Structure 1
Amino acid sequence: MTPTQNVPEDRIQIGQLRSAYGLNGWLWIYSNTDPMSNVFDYLPWYIETSAGWQTVEVKRWKPHGKGLVVSLKGVSDRTAADNLVGVDVWISKSQLPQPSVDEFYWSDLKGLIVLGLDDQEQEVNLGQIHELFETGANDVMVVRATPESVDGEERMVPWHRDVVQRVDLEAGRIYVNWGVDY
């Protein structure tokens, strides 16, 4: 681990160090990537500890059970691993491949204003995307009310081709075929 001042401004979280594994400094890592092993395709990693931002180097990693474990350079015993439990793993967004047409990174969608339809089929502000999550059938946007939205309701809006009409990242908006009363 190397202290660094060059933390990317465009950083995004791709995982979290969850718990120590064994006695030799290995850690369980939770991955936000799909497939989960892709977390190792985006190096270097940046972490923030009580000592400040650091760059970490992956020595080795392996699948274990339903998860992944990792050995980091400079982390050689259980105590050192325990000190990293709960630390988020970040990368520069520029390390990610460009999404294809009509594909988006969830991090780009968070914060977008969601515009739906009222009873008269008029455009109406439903709120702002707070988070997204997967279900078996499709992804779901959690849309939270804002002072400008039509009401104070939180909505779960499916990410589906019949619902999502258009995404305008530059304008910070997403247009959906979703009514106020759904």
Structure 2
Amino acid sequence: MSNEDRLILVGQIGGAFGVKGEVRISAYTADPMALVGYSPLLGADGKPALTLISARPDKAGVVARVKEIATKEEADARRGQKLFVTRDALPEPEEDEFYLTDLVGLEGRDPADVVLGKVKSVQNFGADDMLEIAPAEGGPTWYLPFTRETAPELHINEGWLRIVRPTEVSDRDED
């Protein structure tokens, strides 16, 4: 899958809003109303899943009337459905900005230019973003905090980033 074809999670159906078939959508975009511009939104299979007819802001995203849902029951049946767009549907980032998804697939090189692996994914387990690295030599993936110290150079257009593994702590001092 090319970078342009990569699916980007932008929202999730929260269920019905009222009794007339409107649906609540949690938005994962900076501006929740941007979802309207991405319509139709895609399902996990990359096929059109939801066509927004109208929307208004809500505390967690938007409340929308959609072409594919006419009743409260239909909206509730789609609760939890994740909604995506392709990377090329997103606006181009400003200079010196990027989308985290643009890091996926980059080679990770240490300070001596040795390729340590490739970025498999960018995860966030509740604190900060973590790069999941698939080692060049194979084996289990490992995680690297995505900070200026551990990823001091990004060369997205060239397909790589500098990674500096933190010093591992093997023994703890006695308290």
TM-score between both structures, scaled by the size of structure 2: 0.70
Match of 1:144 in 2: 133
Structure ranking higher in strand proportion:
1
Within a 5 Å distance, the mapping from 1:160-179 to structure 2 comes to 160=148, 162-176=149-163, 178-179=164-165
Report deviation, 1:81.
0.9
CA distance in 1, matches of 2:40, 2:48: 10
Report deviation, 1:132.
3.8
For 2:64, give the aligned amino acid: V
CA distance in 2, matches of 1:14, 1:66: 13
In 2, are the aligned partners of 1:16 and 1:30 still within 8 Å (CA)? yes
Matched, 1:128 2:118: yes
Q: State percent identity of aligned pairs.
A: 23
CA distance in 2, matches of 1:55, 1:132: 25
**Equivalent residue of 2:153, what SS?**
strand
In 1, are the aligned partners of 2:33 and 2:62 still within 8 Å (CA)? yes
Report deviation, 1:147.
4.8
Unaligned 5+ runs, structure 1 = 1-7
**Equivalent residue of 1:16, what SS?**
strand
TM-score between both structures, scaled by the size of structure 1: 0.68
CA displacement 1:57-97 (0-9 Å, x = unmatched)? 21222333344322212412112112322322222433221
CA distance in 1, matches of 2:50, 2:16: 16
CA displacement 1:152-182 (0-9 Å, x = unmatched)? 572332333x543332335532113x23525
Within a 5 Å distance, the mapping from 1:79-90 to structure 2 comes to 79-90=73-84
